[in-house]
Chains A and B, each alone.
Chain A
């Protein structure tokens, strides 16, 4: 079946601009995660959704970062007033209701000039 998909695959923006990154999880997966992977590092947790609600947003670095999942499926990560330090690969993962394993999408590479 289809895996987790993310769009765009690459996003280049200028400092101060607003960006949206989209994640389409595996069908039927109620849990959705966003992670950020900086160069040479492992992924770091940002936010977790169970259904439509953000159940844990403790990993968001500051209030410029926000995410939504209005219908419990597709999620959008929104970054306001981007900074060069936001440049990273943003990974989305989803997990089935009775599963332990998170399945990752290919990621969106964000470059802030």
Chain B
């Protein structure tokens, strides 16, 4: 079974400061990891993913995430937060070796990011 934990329900950060949204995961094999963002009354928008290779992945809107295999973490980061970054962020995982499986994603509960002007 695969699972994701987002330990913070809410993260508050001042505009211009760096932000981190935490995510830890559990899979039986090697993970594929994703971050999505959800604005109010909207669907999920893909931000970035880790499949293989460099542990630091860069995505949309200046976001990046660091894969740490030993800590089973995939924290989302941005050097300088914008008010427009305020939204709900979801981390998701799937097992790389799903065999004949569906490659379904397992999501965390989400973290609400508020960037304060």
Mark B residues whose CB is within 8 Å of A: 4, 32, 34, 36, 41-46, 49, 51, 90, 92, 101-110
Partner of A105, one of B34, B43, B108, B110: B43
**10 additional A-B residue pairs with CB within 8 Å, beyond A56-B102, A105-B43:** A4-B43, A35-B105, A42-B92, A43-B90, A45-B105, A100-B51, A100-B103, A101-B49, A104-B46, A107-B43
Taking a contact as CB atoms under 8 Å apart, the answer to whether B46 and A103 are in contact is yes
A residues sitting closer than 8 Å to B (CB atoms) are 4, 6, 31, 33, 35, 40-45, 48, 50, 55-56, 59, 91, 93, 95, 100-107
Q: What are 24 A-B pairs at a CB distance below 8 A?
A: A6-B43, A33-B102, A33-B105, A35-B105, A40-B109, A42-B4, A42-B90, A42-B108, A42-B110, A43-B105, A43-B107, A45-B105, A48-B102, A48-B103, A56-B101, A56-B102, A100-B49, A100-B51, A103-B46, A104-B36, A104-B43, A104-B45, A106-B42, A107-B43
